[in-house]
Amino acid sequence: MTDVTGTLSGGTLTLADDLTLTRMGYGAMQLAGPNAFGPPKDRDEAVAVLREAVERGITHIDTSDFYGPFVVNEIIKEALHPYPDDLRIVTKVGARRGDDGAWIFAREPEDLKAQVHENLRRLGVEALDVVNLRVGSVAGTDEEPLGDQFGALAELREQGLIRHLGVSSVSAAQLTEAQAIAPVVTVQNLYNLANRQDDALVERCAAEGIAFAPFFPLGGFSPLQSSILTDVAARLSASPQQVALAWLLQRSPSIVLIPGTSSRAHLRENIAATTLALPPEEITELNKIAS
């Protein structure tokens, strides 16, 4: 391991007695090949990225067994097992991958339970810290009932195989439905400077003590492109990506970030965003991007 230590800026969010997350987390999806499918181009670098993330103070790693599939969780285990006492791994279930890399919904209750056991085995743990039920897709949410699916995960929580539950790609009504079944500690939805359809849900999560983890905080497969963002970054002597991440951290105290990268240099750039304070006038300017 490299000799990298220090307290991570950005603060932490405590959601339960046994669940405190650094607000700057790490999303492991990009450790797989293109489109989160197949092995990484450089497995040694993937291992090094994970180790440096933890060494720099990140205690929140987001993953899934359908990244790869299987590859990313195997790399996490190789890099970090036995896991540090304060590390929390958040995974998700609700999809599988086709032979061609296609994303296939897999949300039958028995399949969800099988996916939990697969995550347990590949991560090498007896219980998963947080499991998110993926409901919608990157294209958006739907209003399908999720009671049977979330109930299946709640059963595994009662059995001690899952410590906490969350939901991903959900509407406000689906969050309410899930909360009637079991406590929800995290919501993971599409949200960033340019995609703010969940503004009200961000506020609700803050009021209810739920972590809101924006996926694609930098735009995902279509990176954020905005002259406003570029101009603000230039004035602050920062990169556009750092400004976009800093905006999210300042947007709500309940937001936790899970930007992904397969590069240690890019990891350091993301972490540096936690020290970037955006002046009110620049936030006003950035808010124009979504209008």
Question: Which residues are tagged catalytic?
Answer: 67
Longest dimension (CA), the chain: 53
CA 193 to chain centre: 16
- Burial class of 2 by CB neighbour count within 10 A (0 to 12, 13 to 18, 19+): exposed
Tell me which residue of 276, 205, 288, 190 sits closest to 241, measured CA to CA: 276
Q: Name residue, tokens 């960033």.
A: 192
Q: What angle do CA 26, 32, 33 make, to 5 degrees?
A: 135
Rg (CA), the chain: 18
Q: For the chain, give percent helix, strand, coil, nearest 5.
A: 40, 20, 40
Q: At what angle do helices 71-80 and 109-123 cross, to 10 degrees?
A: 30
Q: Name residue, tokens 């497995």.
A: 43
Give the residue ranges of DSSP H helices in 39-125.
Answer: 43-55, 71-80, 109-123
Q: Kindly list the distances between the CA atom of residue 260 and the CA atoms of 60, 95, 270, 280, in Å, as whole numbers in the listed order.
A: 12, 19, 9, 27
Backbone angles phi, psi at 267, to 5 degrees: -55, -45
